[in-house]
Amino acid sequence: MSCHPRPHPPRPAPGAVPVPAPVRSGTDALRVLLLATPPPLAAETLAFFLDDEGRGGVITIVSDTTDPATVLPVAECLCRAADGVPSASALVIASVRPGGSVLAADGERWRDLSRVAADHGVHLLEWFVIGADGVHCPRELVGEPDRWCVSARADAAPLPPSPPSA
């Protein structure tokens, strides 16, 4: 055990804009989204873009998105807005369904969301469905692995599966 004091991080200059910590995992992303989702839950869609280093800036919240399929036009609109913004390389999106949960059709919606994002040069990292019974990731409905282990770059190829342990 060391008795040496640890240096304190430098204080930001007055008026300096804080730099957000990178979002490097689904857990990090969910923490960000839940900060923007105070109780009681309301039907809404939340999204944010990340750069190649996992840094974001703005969370977009679209309220009254009661139809589960609304996530697709919301994602399309956001991706169109991000066209030509080189720092918008990855997308995280969430559907809040106060009285609902993940639906069987969400597996196909996951694929559609991935295509919408890819068509705009954006890598869809995750789609969360936040409901009364907790948080779900629709990619699991189609057996897709977690995308956080690959680069947030839109042109990143998925990593090959790990060999089975002996």
148 touches 139 (CB < 8 A): no
41 touches 101 (CB < 8 A): no
Task: Read off the pLDDT of each residue in 4-33 and give the average, rounded to a whole number.
Answer: 78
Confidence of residue 37 (pLDDT cuts 50, 70, 90): very high
Task: Read off the pLDDT of each residue in 94-116 and give the average, rounded to a whole number.
Answer: 97
User: So what's the pLDDT on residue 7?
Assistant: 56
Lowest-pLDDT range of 9-18, 62-71, 115-124, 154-163: 154-163
137 touches 93 (CB < 8 A): no
Q: What share of the chain is helix, strand, coil (3-state, %, to 5)?
A: 25, 20, 55
Q: Distance (Å, rounded) from C-alpha 161 to C-alpha 79?
A: 29
Q: Distance (Å, rounded) from C-alpha 70 to C-alpha 89?
A: 22
- The CATH topology of domain 26-142 is Cytidine Deaminase; domain 2 (3.40.140)
Centre a 10 Å sphere on the Cβ of residue 114 and count the other Cβ atoms it contains. 20
Over the stretch 129-161, which tens digit does the pLDDT of each residue have? 999 999 999 999 999 999 997 544 444 444 333
So where are the chain's domains?
26-142
User: So what's the pLDDT on residue 144?
Assistant: 95
Task: Read off the pLDDT of each residue in 81-90 and give the average, rounded to a whole number.
Answer: 92
User: So what's the pLDDT on residue 13?
Assistant: 76
Centre a 10 Å sphere on the Cβ of residue 31 and count the other Cβ atoms it contains. 11
65 touches 130 (CB < 8 A): no
Does residue 1 or residue 41 have the better pLDDT?
Answer: 41
User: So what's the pLDDT on residue 26?
Assistant: 96
